[in-house]
Amino acid sequence: MRVVAAARLRRAQENIVATRPFAEKFNTILGHLIAQIENPSHPLLESRELKRVCLISVSADRGLCGSFNSNVIRTTTQRAQHYQAQGAEVTVICVGRRTRDYFARRDYNVIAEYVNIFRQLAFETAVEIVEEFEHLYRDKQVDRVEVIYNDFKSAILQVVLVEQLLPLTPEVPTGDELFLDYLYEPEQEAIFQSVLAKHLNMQMWKVLLDSNAAEQAARMAAMENATRNANELIDDLILQRNRARQTQITTEISEIVSGAAALEG
């Protein structure tokens, strides 16, 4: 399992490394447009009084990956309790079998679930998830959408992140030498609407790729630790067996010597 996880990690790492620059550039372009448009308006930018919150919890479909799943579940539970303490209603979208199993058995309002998507991860899945919570926000059924997932830092480090997806809060770029007053065709507003519509899809795709890479890294580390612990256990058992065998042989030799001495006497 460690070897399989390592092979899958290489592919997952290549995918996330290739996607991150594109996702970051999306944020930059969006920031440029917002900086140049006076009073940009869009339903996904609208901030409302916090009464209903949707949490997207992204875990794995399988276990044997250390604390990967438990960290996401714990953080999601803490966020839910935080908003419930403020009097907000919390709904959950479960991505991965582990979060689905956990929250479905407890008193949580699970409105959607996506299981076994990491076997053949596709961009269409990210689009489907975005459509699920985007229409809830547009219809004012939720006032905020957050995603909780494991961010892939390296093969030995995965960090649980909580990111707000809606309402969108793109940052205006500062200190960007490439930030010029471009002439846009079509108009800035049209480009802004087009980029904004694709922004969430790209961010959700990045979340799924990050979580997939982090899962494989966590499983590889967990299996490596399990292999090392198993080898140590085998060594301890061999040592105990050798000691027991040595004691038995010593006892038998002592009995033979004692019997021979008795016969001679």
User: What is the identity of the amino acid at 249?
Assistant: I
| Alpha carbons 111 and 55: distance in angstroms, whole number | 10
Q: Please list the alpha-helical segments (H only) found in 105-187.
A: 123-138
- Which of 150, 10, 143 shows the shortest CA–CA distance to 74? 150
Query: Of the listed 65, 72, 147, 204, which one is catalytic?
Result: 65
Catalytic, 65? Answer: yes
27 and 167 in contact (C-beta within 8 Å)?
no
44 and 199 in contact (C-beta within 8 Å)?
no
Q: How many residues does the chain have?
A: 265
Report which secondary-structure segment, H or E, holds 52: strand 52-58
CA angle 8, 11, 17 (to 5 degrees): 135
Catalytic residues, by residue number, are: 65
